[in-house]
Structure 1
């Protein structure tokens, strides 16, 4: 096997073994604490441009199946693991984890001391890194860093897609949505139209939606600042649900500031407290950026959820309009399903808004 190296922007180098023919990958080095769901994790478009380090030591033991991909292609920049299984055992497995990464040109570095690497990231924060067959020339590499800022543009659909259903019509704005969000809406009976992230208000209005879902996605929400007026107008016109990046975009469009965590929240066991009931939900998360609590307009929004570990904002609810946002993933995949009720609440808000509209129209 060929030796490989992960070089961090602070100059530290981690040695391992390169898997497959892809020998270089550049990205932001992050880590995920989930013990299951590696297939869903690597296919989540929110990881575009990032190198994922898996904390769980054994990856690939059940192979790759045809059901659990969260997108049609892989957008991440690389994968770092400790022990990579090359002989998976599962009745649904169709290929190995290594073959899956190779199919989409994603480099993988195995036999790495991932515990030591994660400790470095926790201390220094997320850092740029490069996977290569030799330690990188730090000065030359990071001087020529050419990663795009607008990762949403890279992963969003380029065309409108329609999915039939008998219930309310939902427009899902694709900032890099996970398939499980679409599945959750379809399973609830919704008719869903997926639109590109830069679809203007007037085009969406013509589609006559009953509600809007602002999806998850990669990167800094402030890159999408030119679209804040459109996002604000949509959220103030239709019942809306913002998930992860969608949560940040709705908040920022209404004047809130966005900050970046030292090393982010990525995993399937993040505790979130309901500020009204005091109940704690276990949630799946994947994000670096957060809404700054002190900048939320308390006359417009109330904070509905907070992270138990660090107190960061995990959800907002508009005080006058049917608009709700969550920083975590109610569809999970992988992870616990504690927060599935958020989809039901959103669907009920669409039905209620429709009933109110019908009642007003009848009176007039």
Structure 2
């Protein structure tokens, strides 16, 4: 039964089957991951986007809250070839419109050829193509949200592992995945989570051994407060970042970022370390990339398109990664990044001065 419609920026209107009712709009993107749908759907980096799964069957091992990366579903809408009842019920409970029984191969091809595009979705027994087109028109009239950090960040400071024997990490929450926090806690760090718009006084109050800029959604230029922290503390306190965090740090240190045609989203992105020559598979979810590294050195690149995947500076005590070393979902080839973060803290001049 045709009771759902997806209106695309390229003029197409695709018919589909309703799986979770509602109206929505956003940037249509795709992920190539074939497992980890729970982690992807709860990843804050998908805020304000409509997520298309290229793998045909989504939901074949149920829905378990312990796999979630945050406390809610973040994409505004979900598109798949086939969604199981478990996932459809979950998305209905979350109020996130979802559709299936359409040709996702064609959608993914369109995005790869034409770039990520805006879309409007109308789902339900009374839905019409005009409803989807109206959502698309609203989306096309929207400017990029400069306050997107407020939608995904904590409102106040939170502390994880307060009695840890390791370093104190000030995690600037621009939309952090839970597994980043877990990876740091597993190394006995005390993780002080600060809002995306934390001030210098906020950071000074927790007296961290390192400032860690998290992943998050949208344009790194929207996170001016995080960039200001980088500018304030660079050379005095070690800095680390993942995904959006790499972009924010690069821009703050004289670099430039740019929007990609369709981004990297999946669990099989090959990354080469320029020093060792080793290639590892990585999990990624980003639509922007570093175009110029500024004061940082490029230490890792994406094998497919040569975009920077790792930036470092021994002089400034900075280490960043564009991909997600904590995976979830995806390979665990790069979990040692968190060991490198701890080592950076231990070898930084400030630590040795103590």
Is the CA contact (8 Å cut-off) linking 1:275 and 1:306 kept in structure 2?
Answer: yes
Q: Whole-Å Cα distance in 2 between the matches of residues 33 and 140 of structure 1?
A: 29
Taking a change above 3 Å as real, the CA distance of residues 140 and 101 of structure 1, as seen in their structure-2 partners, is closer
For 1:25-40, what aligned pairs fall within 5 Å after superposition? 25-40=24-39
Deviation at 1:75, TM superposition (A): 1.9
Aligned counterparts of 2:306 and 2:338: Cα–Cα separation in 1:
24
C-alpha separation in 2, matches of 1:6 and 1:40: 24
More divergent stretch after superposition (201-210 vs 335-344): 201-210
1:250-269 equivalences under 5 Å are 250-269=249-268
SS, match of residue 193 in structure 2: strand
Structure 1 residues 326, 357: CA separation in 2 closer, same or farther (over 3 Å shift)?
Answer: closer
Matched with 2:6 is 6
Q: List alignment gaps of at least 5 residues for structure 2.
A: none
1:114 aligns with 2:104: yes
The answer (yes or no) to whether the contact 2:198–2:225 under 8 Å persists in 1 is no
1:214 shift after superposition: 0.6
Q: What is the aligned counterpart of 2:347 among 330, 352, 359?
A: 352
With over 3 angstroms needed to count, the CA separation of the structure-2 counterparts of 1:114 and 1:358, relative to structure 1, is closer
Q: Distance in 2 between matches of 1:224 and 1:357?
A: 27
CA deviation after TM superposition for structure 1 residue 187, in Å:
0.9
Give the 3-state SS of the residue equivalent to 1:283 in structure 2: strand
Look up the match of 1:130. 120
Identify unmatched segments of 5+ residues in structure 1.
Answer: 87-95
Per the TM alignment, residue 205 of structure 1 is displaced from its structure 2 partner at its CA by 1.2
Alpha-carbon contact 1:14-1:117 (below 8 Å) kept: no
Tell me which residue corresponds to 1:100: 90
Contact 2:153 2:196 in 1 (8 A): yes
What SS does the aligned partner of 1:347 have? helix
Q: Show the 5 A alignment for 1:84-233.
A: 84-86=83-85, 96-132=86-122, 133-136=127-130, 141-145=135-139, 146=142, 149=145, 150-164=147-161, 165-225=164-224, 227-233=226-232
8 Å Cα contact 2:209/2:237 also seen in 1: yes
Give the 3 Å change call, closer, same or farther, for CA 258–210 of structure 1 in structure 2: same
Match of 2:236 in 1: 237
CA contact (8 A) 1:212 1:235 kept: no
Q: Which of these residues, 318, 322, 334, is aligned with residue 317 of structure 2?
A: 322
Higher mean displacement: 66-75 or 326-335: 66-75
What is the aligned counterpart of 2:335 among 328, 340, 351? 340
1:306 and 2:312 aligned: no
The Cα of 1:148 is off from its aligned counterpart by 5.6
Figure out how many residues of one structure are paired with residues of the other and give that number.
345
- Cα distance per residue 1:247-284 (max 9 Å; x no partner): 00000011211111111000000000101111101000
TM-score normalized by structure 1?
0.91
Contact 2:44/2:175, CA 8 A, preserved across alignment = yes
Once the two structures are TM-superposed, the CA of residue 101 in structure 1 deviates from its matched residue by 1.1
- CA 1:349–1:117: 2 relative to 1, 3 Å: same
Contact persistence 1:251–1:291 (CA under 8 A)? yes
CA RMSD in angstroms comes to 1.7
**Which residue does 2:15 correspond to in 1?**
15
Q: TM-score, normalised to structure 2's length? A: 0.93
Instruction: Decide whether aligned partners of structure 1 residues 357 and 290 sit closer, same or farther in structure 2, where only a CA change above 3 A counts.
Output: closer
Deviates more, 1:220-229 or 1:8-17: 220-229
- Residue range with higher mean Cα deviation, 11-20 or 211-220: 11-20
CA 1:286–1:338: 2 relative to 1, 3 Å: same
